[in-house]
Structure formats: structure tokens, C-alpha cells
Amino acid sequence: MHEMALCESLLQLIEAEAQQHGFARVTTVYLEIGELAGVELAALKFCFDVVTKKTVAHNSKLRIVVVPGASWCMPCATQVAVKQRHQPCPHCGSHQLQVVAGDEMKIKELEVV
């Protein structure tokens, strides 16, 4: 349950942008969250509404793009799709996988007025 802490960091970033760009209100926040980032999206949305109350992002919408997980399989020397960290390579069954995508937690864009 570190979604609350994530939302607090998110709000800090938004407030810093508000100071820099001089906008009064955020209407939509666009995020990219990886499948392997360990973030519970329902909890994130709930916490976001709580944390942003009476702030520059009050009542703003949260749009989340889920980035699919991908790993590099060392025995196959190829990139494979993985949904969870303990999943084996779908081709050879090996666990010698290195995550190459899907562990990100990024704020991409803000729609502001």
C-alpha cells in the first residue's frame, strides 16, 4: 500500500509544474504505469482523489496507460512478454530474465486550464 506515498510524490510534481508554468488548475493527469511496477491501479486512483482534494489537481481525472511488461531472455537472446516477475520465458521456460520494460511509474502530461 505505498500508493498513498506515490500520490503524494505525484502531487509534489504537479505543484512544481504549476509554479513553473503558472496554471491554476489541472483537469487531467496522464500517467504511464508498468505492469511490473507493483502498483495497484484501483488503490492509486482512490488515493489520488484523497491526496489532491483542495489542491491544484482537485477533481482532476487520472488517465493511466499500462505499459506491458517485457524481459530479455538470456538463453533465447530475445525479448519476451511477461505479466509477472516470477513468470518463466514462454519459449524455453527459463527464469533468467532481465526486465527491460514495464517497471516504470511516470507522469507524462498534464492537461491544465
Return the number of the residue (5 or 92) whose C-beta is nearest another protein. 5
Q: Angle at CA 74, nearest 5°, toward 72 and 78?
A: 50
Return the number of the residue (30 or 54) whose C-beta is nearest another protein. 30
Largest CA distance in the chain: 53
Give least dist CB 74 to another protein, A.
8
- Write the single-letter amino acid at 21: H
Distance CA 1, CA 34 (A): 16
Give least dist CB 10 to another protein, A.
5
Q: Angle at CA 89, nearest 5°, toward 87 and 94?
A: 95
Give least dist CB 105 to another protein, A.
4
Tally of CA atoms within 13 A in the half-sphere of 14 that contains its CB: 28
Give least dist CB 113 to another protein, A.
3
Return the number of the residue (21 or 54) whose C-beta is nearest another protein. 21
Distance CA 36, CA 85 (A): 7
Q: Kindly list the residues in this chain that would bind another protein in the complex (CB under 8 A).
A: 1-2, 4-6, 9-10, 12-13, 17, 21, 23, 27-28, 31, 36-38, 84-86, 88, 95-97, 99, 104-113
